[in-house]
Amino acid sequence: MELRALSNPMVYEINTWAWLAELSRREHRKVELGSVPEHEWDRIAGQGFDAVWLMGVWQRSPVGVMIALSNTDLTAQFEEALPGWRSEDVVGSPYCVRDYVVDDHLGGREGLALARETLAARHVGLILDFVPNHIAPDHPWTVARPEVCVTGTDEQLARDPRSFVRIAGRVVANGRDPYFPAWPDVVQINAFAPELRSATVQTLGLIADQCDGVRCDMAMLVMNEIFSRTWGTSVGDPPADDFWPHVINEVRAHHPGFLFIAEAYWDLEWALQQQGFDYCYDKRLYDRVLHGTAEQTRLHLLADLAYQQRLVRFTENHDEQRAA
């Protein structure tokens, strides 16, 4: 389905693992992507959505699960969200990606293909995730393609073990953004490395074979300016071309109708639109509607219409507090 050709498309986000678990309880059988009841797809399509974003279909990291279970801050959050939780309830973060292969628990690649077919028959497109900034510690690249990772030294690991980790004899950096401590369950990839850009184009090409568009997690983190600010001289000088124009142009050479959505913060929506994204998150509107004033919201909506038409306005999103 050509989502890029639609005006003001409506997208429905589904937490895939939790949704299939709920359907399984309701149907009294194991439900995977390829065996979702027809009436469930009818319900979604009947609400007028143009696309479904199946959040979290890729293989999750067993190492990430172990790290989560040993992190007292995270386990406290688990207890708050699900009192009396058990270790088997922790299935792993959908953004700690072990590999861009549909998880067998969810039905594998064949199940996803059936779900896409079923949606297309109802004139509904399919959007999946891509995480450009980091990978799981047990992602194949950490061993097979270490040149795509941000590396560190033994001294850095000894001085700051929360920000670095040793994998297969090499010290690599944990993923982070410029404002917060490192995330302990992911490895930082080097947006300036030519090998990483080639690998990203290849990965996105494989994803584009399976869906109609992609939502890029924290897309601004791999922009030249932001990546330099985050990592300084440790990653060398930025390339002449920025990350996203290079990657998006390469992918679109083979998948011209493929839709790119950026999760965007820090007033970088316009810049990411100029770098090739079809749509960018309008986080500022969300904050102003829920926490600001009517006048702030009114002024926000006076922005140039061509710019506004390429913003994602959302009422619910897994990265934010529930709107209710």
Residues 120-146 pLDDT 10s: 999 999 999 999 999 999 999 999 998
Please work out, in degrees rounded to the nearest 5, the angle formed at the alpha carbon of residue 260 by the alpha carbons of 239 and 32. Answer: 125
Q: Where are the domains of the chain?
A: 3-135+192-312, 136-190
With cut-offs at 50, 70 and 90, classify the pLDDT of residue 324: confident
* Confidence label for 107 from pLDDT (cuts 50, 70 and 90): very high
Tens-digit pLDDT profile for residues 146-159: 889 999 999 999 99
Q: Is the pLDDT of residue 8 over 90?
A: no
Task: Read off the amino acid at residue 171.
Answer: V
Structure confidence at residue 253 (pLDDT):
95
pLDDT at 231: 93
Please report which confidence band the pLDDT of residue 176 belongs to, taking 50, 70 and 90 as the band edges: very high
Averaged pLDDT for residues 179-187: 92
d(Cα 58, Cα 97) in Å, to the nearest integer?
7
Cβ within 8 Å of residue 104, ≥6 positions away: none
Q: Residue 111: CA atoms inside 13 Å, Cβ hemisphere, count?
A: 21
Q: Is 213 a residue whose pLDDT tops 90?
A: yes
Q: Quickly name the fold that domain 3-135+192-312 has.
A: TIM Barrel (3.20.20)
Average pLDDT over residues 58-87: 91
* Average pLDDT along the chain: 93
pLDDT score for 73: 86
pTM assigned to the model: 0.93
More confident: 316 or 137:
137
Average pLDDT over residues 21-45: 96
